Chains A and B, each alone.
Chain A
Amino acid sequence: MEIHRFEKLWLAASLVLILGFVATVVYGAVGAGVAMVNDDGGTVDPGDITASENFREPGVYEAGDGEYAVYVEARQFSFRPGSSQPIEVPADTRVTFYVTSPDVTHGFSVVGTNINTMVVPGQVARITTVFEEPGTYHIVCHEYCGAAHHNMQGQIRVVDQSQFDASATGPAAIDDPAAEVSD
């Protein structure tokens, strides 16, 4: 079988391109440390999401070492916290989101950032991020979840650490005053 010279060249160039793509992702993961959604959030019972160790009453918690943990329940058709009241977190601090759903599949994506995960009932999506800029960020449910899916949205308010500490609501759990402040 004769393979034309140009065919061989093209084949070689294609393979180089493919290897290049894989290499950039490897570099991103190993070198630049881009973390991706994983299975480390664990599982919960969709019928009772706070029953297991893997999820807590929705709200913002101080997680020690100046880090924060935010537990978000995504349900038809709101984020708790996030929709009726913004999630408030300090800037320049590691914040880890834990998101799960007691009903159908949702999405949790923060416009203009790399935060983008599916929210699958039974699974806890865990994403860590640092908001460098104070300001208001918008949460979008980007998976169709029912007739009012387009209304499912929320906000994150990122404020300076000093303002966060002074603020009346923070760092207490926002939607649920009964929840504990510290971890």
Chain B
Amino acid sequence: MAYVDEYPRAAKIARWEFGVAFLALALGGVFGLVQALYRTDTFREALPINAADYYTILTGHGVLLALVFTTFSIAALFTWATTRSLERPLASNRLAWGAFWLLVIGTVLAATSILNGFVPQLPFESSDVLFTFYAPMQAHPAFYLGAALIIIGSWVAGAVYFLTYWEWRKDNPGERIPLQTFMVLTTFLMWYLATLGVAVEVVVFLIPWSLGLIDTVDPLLTRTLFWFFGHPVVYFWLLPAYLVWYTVLPKLAGGRLFSDPLARAVFVLFLLLSTPVGFHHQYVDPGIPEGFKFVSMTNTMMLLLPSLLTAFTVVASLEHGARQRGGGGYVGWLRSLPWDRPAFSGCALAGLMFAAGGFSGMINAGMNINYLIHNTLWVPGHFHLTVGTAFALTIMAIAYWLIPQITGKRLQHRRLAMVQPYVWFVGMTLMSNAMHRAGLAGLPRRTAEPMFQEAGSAPFDPVVGTVGEMRLQIAIGSTLLFVALAMFLVVMFGTWLGKSGAAPLAVNGSIPDPLSGPEGSPRVLDNLKVWTAIAVVLVALAYGLPIWSIISDGLLTPGSPPIPV
């Protein structure tokens, strides 16, 4: 029996959530292509924008992809994972739909005020503040309200998973939390803690300030609150991908997860360490003592541990799968993996790119080498490997496997699906590699025009290659990415148009037990209260003093009045 037959109501919610996520992905992807071509000066005359519109596009790209596509996809995936692993329907469908609509209203408010940037007939006023909305640059209040509703919607979505878990707990006292639910709950505990920062920033400061209720805000304080949330949010994106890599990918490879307890330990580490690290985005901020930056760097480096452990387990599980399929040799087993199945190849390529992204992340995390690349194109080069591929490609890949199960429709255009992950991979290799190198040469991010075009000035001096060659690679890479995205959408759209029950699904949703299960592992791993308490203490230690030192001269001083864009 397919998932949709067992849990029709949860399946419907997940379908709608994926639906909105993919719409956001489509629009965000168009913006991505336009801005890549514009800033590399490729066919610029043919593009419908000017340099000022570039920032409207960039705001749309960041918000639609990093906030909307991610949050909706995660809600869909977690709805499936919670119900499947607890083997029961959601505790409250009404609440789950409430979360959905809060997210939708938030998205519509934010998106309308952004799009107002080129369509002034739309309601509100333009909000070209980028997805980081640093004060005192001021967006229309609708933008902030939209952001707040997206956060609140995600909180309600998370509450539904907790309610469902508590119901299950009543019926199953003393049992170990099923692994997928464990992952969902730890991810959300981390998320509740992390979003406190942005919630305070937006609700206490930016909304009243944009409405004129308070005159000034302290830009360093709001910025610090943003990054309190801004780093853990990347784990909010990453952990769902990990959930897929730990629990589904081994099965797609033909094997089983290597170790359940290790997976739990990894998620616990993320709960503990994801939040007290935000200052690593502020290494070059004035107003923050070096010591606090150092503490945050040490925590950041510790965060490498769970990711390195994940690399081990995932590769070990893949190898196990390959050997089950008859593979052998030291690396020869790689050939026995199902590279022609897009759900598998997409996840595996996403994992590979994530490893590369992890290396460039280690550079970002080093307090001193960060000076070389802070706010250069290196940074988007890095996160297109992480959120832009590790997350996005994993979601696309798992959609090939999950969408048939939640719609009851057989996947269409299977050949297109088969090559799609490879096209994305090649496109991203070109774009990201060129962005990294351009960043090393000093090219800034978030900049519409190639700078320093006047004669005789060539400040950007690449170690290898030329700026022109990098631009070309970015343009070609982004075009391939866009093609891959279109292929994915065609497959999804075709599948959606298909008839349910017309053909047997080519997938089954069963997930085999791990090689070593949770039985022997310490029960404290499942004690979410203990881990949450420790996480709160760590955050208080990392942020207590610095925030105090920023607000000790007054909550709103040094204060800046709003500067509308």
Interface residue from B290, B516, B559 paired with A122 (Cβ < 8 Å) = B559
Q: Give chain A nearest CB distance to B330 CB in angstroms.
A: 14
> A179: CB under 8 A from chain B?
no
- Is B251 close to A, CB under 8 A? no
- Complex CA–CA separation, A139 to B297 (angstroms): 27
Task: Report which residue of B282, B297, B445, B558 has the largest number of chain A beta carbons within 10 angstroms of its beta carbon.
Answer: B558
Query: B84 on the interface (CB 8 Å rule)?
Result: no
Q: Is the CB of A118 within 8 A of B286?
A: yes
CB pair B447–A149 under 8 Å, yes or no, is yes
Contact: B285 with A118, CB < 8 Å?
Answer: yes
| Bound Cα distance A21, B294 (Å) | 12
Task: For the complex formed, measure the closest distance between the CB of A133 and the CB atoms of chain B, giving whole angstroms.
Answer: 13
Question: Are the CB atoms of A112 and B461 closer together than 8 Å?
Answer: yes
Decide yes or no whether A166 CB sits under 8 A from chain B: no
Q: Is the CB of B445 within 8 A of A142?
A: yes
Q: In the complex, which of the residues B220, B286, B309 contacts A126, with contact meaning CB atoms closer than 8 Å?
A: B286
Is A24 at the interface (CB under 8 A from chain B)? yes
Query: Nearest-CB distance from A139 to chain B (Å)?
Result: 9
B interface size (C-beta, 8 A):
74
- Map CB proximity to A onto B533-552 as digits: 1 under 8 Å, 0 otherwise: 00000000000000001000
Known: A38-B289, A118-B286. A142 touches B449 (CB 8 A): no
Assess whether A109 is in contact with B375, with CB atoms less than 8 Å apart. yes
Binary flags per residue of A87-131, CB closer than 8 Å to B gives 1, else 0: 000000000000000011101010110101111111111100000
Interface residues of B (CB under 8 A from A): 51-52, 55, 58, 128, 130, 134, 136-137, 218-220, 223, 258-259, 261-262, 282-290, 293-294, 297-298, 301-302, 304-305, 308-309, 312, 316, 362, 365-368, 371-372, 374-376, 442, 444-449, 451-452, 457, 459-461, 516, 520-522, 549, 553, 557-561, 563, 565
Listed A/B pairs (30) with beta-carbon separation below 8 Å: A2-B516, A2-B520, A11-B305, A14-B309, A18-B304, A21-B365, A22-B298, A25-B294, A36-B371, A37-B283, A37-B285, A39-B288, A39-B289, A45-B559, A46-B219, A105-B137, A109-B444, A112-B461, A114-B371, A121-B558, A122-B559, A123-B558, A126-B286, A136-B457, A140-B444, A142-B445, A142-B446, A143-B134, A143-B446, A144-B130
Minimum CB–CB distance from A137 to chain B (whole Å) comes to: 7
Are B302 and A105 touching (Cβ within 8 A)? no
Chain B interface main SS type: loop
Bound form: Cα–Cα A41–B284 in Å: 13
Q: A144-B446, A149-B447 are in contact. Are A18 and B301 (CB under 8 A)?
A: yes
B444-A46 in contact (CB<8A): no
15 extra A-B contacts, CB within 8 A, seeds A2-B520, A104-B134, A125-B286: A1-B520, A2-B516, A14-B309, A22-B298, A25-B297, A36-B284, A36-B293, A38-B290, A43-B553, A46-B136, A104-B560, A111-B460, A141-B444, A150-B449, A150-B451
Interfacial chain B residues near A1, Cβ < 8 Å = 261, 516, 520-522
Chain A residues with Cβ under 8 A from B563's Cβ? 103-104
Q: Does A148 contact B (CB under 8 A)?
A: yes
Complex: how many Å from CA A37 to CA B258?
45
Taking a contact as CB atoms under 8 Å apart, the answer to whether B448 and A116 are in contact is: no
Closest to A20 in B: B301
Which residues of chain A come closer than 8 Å to B289, judged between CB atoms? Answer: 38-39
Q: Which residues of chain B have C-beta atoms less than 8 A from A117's C-beta?
A: 284-286
Which residues from chain B contact A6 at a C-beta distance below 8 Å? 312, 316
Question: Would A36 and B459 count as touching, CB distance under 8 A?
Answer: no
B541 CB to nearest chain A CB (Å): 17
Quick check: B442 and A122 within 8 Å, CB to CB?
A: no
The answer to whether residues A111 and B302 also contact, given A43-B558, A140-B451 and a CB cut-off of 8 A, is no
Given A36-B290, A112-B442, verify A138-B457 contact (CB < 8 Å).
Answer: yes
Residue of A nearest to B291 (CB): A38
By Cβ-Cβ distance, the 8 closest A-B pairs, closest first, are A122-B558, A138-B459, A125-B286, A142-B444, A123-B287, A147-B52, A142-B375, A123-B286
Write out the residue numbers on chain A whose beta carbons fall within 8 Å of the beta carbon of B371: 36, 114, 116
Would you call A107 and B444 a contact (CB within 8 A)?
yes
Given A1-B522, A21-B366, are A122 and B55 neighbors across the interface (CB < 8 Å)?
no
Among B218, B289, B293, the one with the most A-chain Cβ atoms within 10 Å of its Cβ is B218
Cβ distance A52 to chain B, nearest Cβ, rounded Å: 9
**Cross-chain contact B136 with A121 (CB below 8 angstroms):** yes
- A21, B459: Cβ atoms under 8 Å? no
Does A25 contact B553, Cβ atoms closer than 8 Å? no
Assuming A7-B312, A11-B309, A112-B442, is B287 touching A120 (CB within 8 A)? yes
Q: Given the complex, which residues of B lie within 8 Å of A147, measured CB to CB? A: 51-52, 55, 128, 565
Most chain A C-beta atoms within 10 Å of own C-beta, residue among B287, B288, B366: B287
Contact A39 B287 (CB under 8 A): yes
Indicate whether A10 sits within 8 Å of B312 (C-beta atoms), given known contacts A18-B304, A25-B367, A39-B287.
yes
Partner of A46, one of B302, B457, B560: B560
Q: Which residues does chain B contribute within 8 Å of A116, judged by CB atoms?
A: 284, 371-372, 374-375
Q: Give every chain A residue within 8 A of B446 (Cβ-Cβ).
A: 142-144, 149
CB pair A122–B560 under 8 Å, yes or no, is yes
Residues from chain B with Cβ under 8 Å of A138 in the complex: 452, 457, 459
* B309 & A10 in contact (Cβ 8 Å cutoff): yes
Identity of the chain A residue whose Cβ is nearest the Cβ of B565 in the assembled complex: A146
* Minimum C-beta distance from B305 to chain A (A): 6
**Min CB–CB distance B64 → chain A (angstroms):** 17
Residue in A109, A112, A123 whose CB lies within 8 Å of B220 = A123
Distance from B464 Cβ to chain A, minimum over Cβ atoms (Å)? 16
A14-B308, A120-B286, A145-B137 known; A25+B220 contact, CB < 8 A? no
